[in-house]
Amino acid sequence: MSIAIVTGGASGIGRAIATSLVNRGDTVIVADLDAAGAEKVADRLGTLNKGRAIPAALDVTDADAVADLYKGVKAEHGRLDLVFNNAGISIGGAAEELTLEHWNRAIDINLKGVVHGVQTAYPIMLEQRSGHIVNTASLAGLVPMPLGLPYTTTKHAVVGLSLGLRAEAAGRGVKVSVVCPSFVDTPLLTNVNPGLPETSMSGDAKDDIKKAAPRLYTAEKLARDIMRGVGRNKALIVAPAHGRAAWRGVRLSPGGAVKVSAFAVNRIRGKS
């Protein structure tokens, strides 16, 4: 039985990860800014009669709050085996529409939220000489993704952070993986730029996204991929298959990948 923390656990990918962990008998702290949502998920997972789910209110932009939660879990349970730094926000819009508020919010949540988790979890795991940190990035962290530059910038940073930390952690008992999914059918697609100035992509962008990427993956299938990748200690967990194909295409022809992305932009803008 593992002791795990999942941030952004009240919905989408985080909820699916928490469900997979509880189903296999783990104790999971379901952490989310949406405290009521976290409690609802934990209550539902408690009916599975397998592992244990504990709700926790958490703002990942608050470094002290993250540290208090992670250290508190270690103190209560004696160890911290798995940390899924998964909380994130969707930012969309053309470059000329974006404001510094869009950029700062993306950096605060998508990047610094992961940094805050790593900053506390890594020393704990080094001390116990065991543990696995799993950071959620995106396929947008591996390929050019226009119409959402703050998002793709932060996700590229999470990939770099994770791979660099994995190299440092090698031989010290701590594992590090980064998850890079293609478009997943989660509330992020229907809640773009929450609380931020509106752009052409604000609100429900699912229909626009499906013009460029009609095949949306489910959070439940992705959670299975994630748990399989964690079990195999994979550095990069890229899913589904068409996402891995896109990643290979970028490595083979970066210029060609940019042209494909430009074509997708034109489809969204209705030019083709």
pLDDT per residue over 133-142, tens digit each? Answer: 999 999 999 9
Looking at domain 3-268, its CATH architecture is 3-Layer(aba) Sandwich (3.40)
Arithmetic mean of pLDDT, 159-171: 97
Cα 98 to chain centroid distance, Å, stands at 22
pLDDT per residue over 147-156, tens digit each? Answer: 999 999 999 9
User: Is the model's pLDDT at 50 over the cut of 90?
Assistant: yes
Distance from C-alpha of 139 to C-alpha of 177, rounded to nearest angstrom: 14
Place of tokens 């934990």: 42
Residue 187 is predicted with a pLDDT of 81
Q: Please give the share of the chain, as a percent, with pLDDT higher than 70.
A: 96
CA angle 157, 163, 164 (to 5 degrees): 85
Q: Please give the share of the chain, as a percent, with pLDDT higher than 90.
A: 81
Is residue 122 part of the annotated active site? The answer reads no
Q: Where are the alpha helices (DSSP H) in the chain?
A: 12-23, 35-46, 63-77, 100-106, 112-128, 149-169, 206-212, 219-231, 241-252, 254-268
Order of strands across the sheet with 132-136?
52-57, 27-32, 3-7, 82-85, 132-136, 175-181, 236-239
Domain map (residue ranges) of the chain: 3-268
Cα 44 to chain centroid distance, Å, stands at 22
User: Is the model's pLDDT at 204 over the cut of 90?
Assistant: no
Cα 228 to chain centroid distance, Å, stands at 16
Distance from C-alpha of 30 to C-alpha of 40, rounded to nearest angstrom: 10
pLDDT per residue over 97-116, tens digit each? Answer: 999 999 999 999 999 999 99
Distance from C-alpha of 32 to C-alpha of 24, rounded to nearest angstrom: 22
Q: What is the DSSP letter of 161?
A: H
- Exactly one of 70, 122, 151, 217 is catalytic; which is it? 151
pLDDT per residue over 71-105, tens digit each? Answer: 999 999 999 999 999 999 999 999 999 999 999 99
Residue 7 contacts residue 30 (beta carbons within 8 Å): no
User: Is the model's pLDDT at 174 over the cut of 50?
Assistant: yes
- pLDDT band, very low/low/confident/very high, at 213 (cuts 50, 70, 90): low
- To the question of pTM greater than 0.75 for the whole model, the response is yes
